[in-house]
Structure 1
Amino acid sequence: MPAAKTPQKKPLTVATVNVNGIRAAVRRGMAAWLAERDPDVLCLQEVRAPDEVLGSLLDEALGRGWHVAHCEPTDAGTKGRAGVAVATRLPVGEQRATLHPRFDGAGRWVELDVRTPSGTVTVVSVYVHTGEADTPKQDDKHAFLDAVTARLEQLRESGNHAVVCGDYNVAHRNEDIKNWKGNLKKAGFLPAERAYYDRWFASGWVDVVRSLHPGVEGPYSWWSWRGQAFDRDTGWRIDLHVATEELAARATSAVVDRAPSYAERFSDHAPVVVTYDV
């Protein structure tokens, strides 16, 4: 079996993807993508499975030696519908899953300190609520985003490199959503949601993919399973790497691993992969 990875001076590849259920993603071919991409750090959302199922996938695709920080929901209303994880074969430090007491059982936030030759990088996997305009679901989403904002400030003030990867369920600008005019009053593109990004980026956090792809439409990372959204590239860019300024400045490439065809998708989201020179 391959030995655990040891720190060495080389690019750090971080991939994030909402798998829409790890069992379903594996049936649709996720293991082949994982084996080909072989990221140093893997962030997952909507895992919807226990530790042993996730661990088995990683072992079968890439060999043993994985450190996994995995948080599944325990709340009755969210059990089986969320779950987040950060996995790596690099040396690790502390892991944390507490964002705010209100969301302790939600399975939407997990942190893992990953050790690199340039120091520790705190990697977070986040799954923000979908929400629904003018309903209690939207209130929950805003409360969660408030908690994320508070934690981002703590992470930034720590002085360490940090990147918060995941499904934010919010598009920031018009170029981040194909049909932006038709979604101005819908959850995912409401002004109050988009304002969170404004605050985060004004405080020093960076949308890494946008920084490397300025002024272009997309690159989108989510397309509905329905209709011809995928074939027509009618998508949303809602899967992000939000990094501290110092780490974002070390990003050398950012790509969306869009499937070659609708039939080859293993999720309604595509992996977003960023390489950092650390």
Structure 2
Amino acid sequence: MPLTVLTLNVGNPALERARRQRDWLARRDEDVFVLTETGSGPGTHLIAESFTDAGWSVTYPDHPDKERGVMLLSSLKSTVDPIGAEMTYLPARLAGIVVDTERGPLRILGAYVPSRDATEVKTTRKRSWIDAFHRAYEAAADDAPVLLLGDLNVLEPGHVPPHPGQFAPFETAFYTELTQRHGLADAFRTLHPTAVEHSWARRAELGYRYDHAHAATSLVEHLTSCSYVHDTRRGEPTLTDHSGLAVELALTATSSPITSDPAADREATLF
């Protein structure tokens, strides 16, 4: 059986939207979900509690009030990856788990990179987070391959359309350093060298491929699929304004999922 992962920006959902997101996730077949733009409010807590009650492994770093972050939901037995403990700046935005496969442990990391505007405050914030990410990644490095997923709030060089002037050189450098410094290949671009896809768009003709999956070199040969899931931002009401990104690896997890339905009717109490 392949090992499957999906990342989705949930947009710090209110309760009603969080229930719909939870129900949509519960109908999916992926083994692991990497959710970005999670928050500390009742909507994110509802998702976390529903999956916890259903027997999933839930990794949900502490989110200070109004701060955004990531959450990982795994139907497979997992342990917490050490990278979160190494992250010294806005740590809720980086977390990971380790799952066992027939070829050894696999590290699945989730990242939600801060966005930026023209202000010095937001620019410094994003630059500081990226610097802290590099330090944390290197401090937690070991021999296990990495699959990094999430909303990176950056575009690849040569993005179509180009969006000139919207991203500073340090932002584009972050994308290229994932490969050049950390040995992580853009999984979608590896399988689809010329495809034009967008995961967020203010207008249909002005899309952005913000949501990414990057895989260690040793995982590339096991990469069988990487595709965007656009129905999350279609229909009325939409689940979120981002498309999901689903990744399939020809790896077999050594622990079988033993979980129930996270969307099953139950009396949920919030954290």
TM bin, normalised by shorter chain, reads 0.7 to 0.9
Q: Who is 2:268 aligned against?
A: none
Amino acid of the residue matched to residue 271 of structure 1? G
Q: Who is 2:150 aligned against?
A: 166
1:150 equivalenced with 2:129 (yes/no):
no
Deviations 1:131-187 (Å, cap 9, x if unpaired)?
Answer: 1235121111011111222333345x5110111111110111233x53x2xx3222x
Amino acid of the residue matched to residue 171 of structure 1? L
Amino acid of the residue matched to residue 122 of structure 2? K
Deviation of the 1:216 alpha carbon? 2.1
Seq. identity, %: 26
Q: Who is 1:102 aligned against?
A: 89
Distance 1:86 1:31 in 2: 13
Give the structure, 1 or 2, with the largest relative contact order (CA under 8 Å, sep 6 or more): 2
Deviations 1:78-121 (Å, cap 9, x if unpaired)?
Answer: x23413111112111234423432334xx211111122232211
Gap change, CA 1:135 and 1:248, over 3 Å in 2: same
Deviation of the 1:34 alpha carbon? 1.4
Q: Who is 2:37 aligned against?
A: 46
1:86 equivalenced with 2:65 (yes/no):
no
Distance 2:121 2:49 in 1: 37
Contact between 1:123 and 1:164, CA under 8 Å: does it hold in 2?
A: yes
- The 3-state SS of whatever aligns with 1:268 is coil
Deviations 1:21-76 (Å, cap 9, x if unpaired)?
Answer: 244573583234313322101101112246752234436xxx811001101422xx
Contact between 1:28 and 1:265, CA under 8 Å: does it hold in 2?
A: no
Deviation of the 1:263 alpha carbon? 2.3
Distance 1:271 1:72 in 2: 24
* Structure 1, gaps ≥5 residues long: 1-9
Q: Who is 2:210 aligned against?
A: 238
Give the count of matched residue pairs.
246
- The 3-state SS of whatever aligns with 1:46 is strand
1:216 equivalenced with 2:189 (yes/no):
no
Distance 1:25 1:109 in 2: 26
Distance 1:73 1:31 in 2: 19
Q: Who is 2:220 aligned against?
A: 248
Gap change, CA 1:130 and 1:249, over 3 Å in 2: same
* Structure 2, gaps ≥5 residues long: 252-271
Q: Who is 1:5 aligned against?
A: none
Deviations 1:219-246 (Å, cap 9, x if unpaired)?
Answer: 211123xxxx1xx353111111112111
- The 3-state SS of whatever aligns with 2:207 is coil
Gap change, CA 1:53 and 1:234, over 3 Å in 2: same
| TM value normalised by structure 2 | 0.81
Amino acid of the residue matched to residue 169 of structure 1? N
- The 3-state SS of whatever aligns with 1:101 is coil
Contact between 2:86 and 2:139, CA under 8 Å: does it hold in 1?
A: no
| TM value normalised by structure 1 | 0.79
Q: Who is 1:7 aligned against?
A: none
Distance 2:145 2:133 in 1: 17
Deviation of the 1:269 alpha carbon? 0.7
- The alignment yields a C-alpha RMSD, in angstroms, of 2.4
Deviation of the 1:267 alpha carbon? 0.6
Gap change, CA 1:152 and 1:190, over 3 Å in 2: same
1:205 equivalenced with 2:194 (yes/no):
no
Q: Who is 1:193 aligned against?
A: 171
